[in-house]
Amino acid sequence: MSGRERATTEGQLSLYDEAVLLRHLSEQQGELVSDVLEHAARAGQVSEENARLARDLAGSQDRLQEVHHRIRNHLQIVTGLLSAQQFSETSATARRAFQKSIGRLTSIAAIHDLLARDPSSGELQLPALARQLAHHLIEHAGAVGRIRVRTDVARVTLNAKQATAFVLVLTELLSNSIEHGFGDEGRGEISLRVTAERGRAVLEVRDTGRGLPSGFDIGGGERLGLGLICRLAERDLRGSVEAWNEGGACFRVTFRIDASKGEK
C-alpha cells in the first residue's frame, strides 16, 4: 500500500515503485490462487469421502434389509409348521398349546417388524403396537365379539431390548386374561393401560373375568406364562410385578425406562 500512497501524493509512480507494486500484487494473487486450489482439492476429497460413505451406508442398509427378510422367512417357517401341527392335532389341549405358541411367535414377529421399519433407532411407539397385539390375540383365540379391549397407552419410548421384553410380557398378560379370565365361553372386557411419569413406566392389564384363584402366587407358580412374565419383568425391564383381584384379575408391571439406546 505504500506505493499507492506515494502515487497519490506525487501524482505518478516511478518504474521501480510500479515493479515493486506489481510483484507484491502478483505474490498476493499467487497466494490466493494456491489457497483456492488447496480448498478445491480438499472439497474434492471431502465429496469423494462423502460419496464413499453414502455407498457404504446404502450397502449396509441393503444388507440389513436382507437380514430382516431372512428373519421373516425363518419366522414364516416356524409359524407355518406350528400352524400346520395345530390344525392336525385332535386334542383340544394340544391345539391350545400350539395356539399359544403361535401367539407368542406373532408378538415376536410384530416387534421385529416395528424395529425393522425404523432401523435408525430402537425407539418404539407402543400405542399402535399394543392395540394391534390385543386385537390379534383375541382374534387368534376366536374371541372376537366376546372379549372387548380398552386401551389407554401413553407414548412411551423404549429401546429395543426393553421394547421386546415389554411386548412379550404384554402378550403373556393378555393371553392369560383371554384364556384363564374368560375361558372358552366367558364375555367381558380387558383394559390395558400404560402410563409413564418421571422415567417410570407402569403397565396394567385388568380383566372382568373370573379372577385369580385363591392363594395365587405369581412367583411360585409353575405355569410357563407366569414364569416368563416374572423373569422378563425383573431381568430385562428391571422392574416388579404385582397381581391382585379387583372385579377380575389385575396385573401391574412397574419398571424404570432405560434411556440408553440399548442393544438391538
Residues that bind other proteins (CB under 8 A): 65, 68-73, 75-81, 83-88, 102, 105-106, 109, 113, 117, 139-140
Please report how close the Cβ of residue 101 comes to other proteins at its closest, in angstroms.
11
Q: How many CB atoms lie within 10 A of CB 210?
A: 15
Sign, CA torsion 171/173/174/176: positive
Q: Which is nearer to other proteins, 65 or 240 (CB)?
A: 65
Give the end-to-end CA distance of the chain in Å, rounded to a whole number.
Answer: 65
Cell of 206: 385388568
Q: Which is nearer to other proteins, 18 or 66 (CB)?
A: 66
Please report how close the Cβ of residue 48 comes to other proteins at its closest, in angstroms.
29
Residue 183, sorted as left (phi over 0), alpha (psi -120 to 50) or beta, turns out to be: left
* Type and span of the H or E element at 263: none
Q: Which is nearer to other proteins, 22 or 77 (CB)?
A: 77
Please report how close the Cβ of residue 153 comes to other proteins at its closest, in angstroms.
23
Residue 21: closest CA among 39, 34, 8:
8
Q: Which is nearer to other proteins, 137 or 230 (CB)?
A: 137
Please report how close the Cβ of residue 74 comes to other proteins at its closest, in angstroms.
8
